[in-house]
Amino acid sequence: MNLKHFGLLLLTLGVCVTAFADSDDVPAEVAAKIRATLHERIPELRIDGIHRSPIAGMYELNTGDELVYSNDSGTLVLAGRLIDTKTRRDLTAERWNALNAIDFNSLPFDLAIKSVRGNGSRKLVIFADPLCPYCRQLEQQMQGLNNVTIYTFLYPIETLHPGASVKSVQIWCAKDRTGAWTKWMLQNADPGDTRCKGAPVEQLQKLGEKLRIDSTPTIFTADGKRVRGAIKHNEIEQLLAAAPK
């Protein structure tokens, strides 16, 4: 893959609206050199911020959609995941999630499907597509969670799952939308061809674009941290334990 195609690929991984601004925290001359070189060679590559990386001599570039790494002159770019070989942690994913944290309390919770378990003291937000198999996996993993309030925002991705928007409307318009969502995701029980006014699918799609949600499921904890993908039950418990109530 040539550099032009590499840059175009990065730009197609998500949308171009930031949830929070980023900035450089490396020496100004290093940042200027990297930016100048990459602007000349990959002008379509967006760089929100430049940071030090765990690799000596390499710098982390926040493209808004993913993290890539560059030498101090911008003549070499590395796209991939940094894995801690001792802990098996994906350092790139953790760092991207931290850079793209959100203001949890600003979310429109009235547009979510709300499920309260136990005393509901712990809080979790899920952006989910009703036709996404990984969302079904996550729903299975969330069984057994207690003392948690789960807010599910319907986020159909039609390009991946044609018909997901219609299914989202049917679930939202069901008499018991929480039950309809759970039964659909866990038992494949169709909610029926229910329709109503005010289903917030388009609103949530715009919100997801603003928050740069490019895949489902995407999880947010009460401190605004995000995690992408169908993580396991014990990992969900760890997230909830680490977040403020």
**Tell me, what's the pLDDT at 93?**
87
User: What's the pLDDT score for residue 21?
Assistant: 53
CA nearest neighbour of 112 among 121, 22, 228, 104? 104
Domain spans of the chain, in order of start: 3-99, 104-242
CATH number of this structure's domain 3-99, picked from the four choices 3.10.450.70, 3.30.360.10, 3.40.50.2000, 3.40.50.620: 3.10.450.70
- Give residue 97's pLDDT: 81
Q: Is the pTM of this model over 0.85?
A: no
Closest CA to 53 of 66, 71, 30, 76: 71
Could you name the CATH architecture of 104-242? 3-Layer(aba) Sandwich (3.40)
Q: pLDDT digit of tens for each residue in the chain (245 aa)? A: 333 444 444 333 322 233 345 788 899 999 999 999 999 999 999 999 999 999 999 999 999 778 999 999 999 999 999 999 999 999 998 898 888 889 999 999 999 999 999 999 999 999 999 999 999 999 999 999 999 999 999 999 999 999 999 999 999 999 999 999 999 999 999 999 988 999 999 999 999 989 989 899 999 999 999 998 999 999 999 999 988 76
pLDDT (0 to 100) of residue 6: 42
Which residues, in sequence order, are CB contacts of 208 under 8 Å at separation 6+? 127, 153, 155
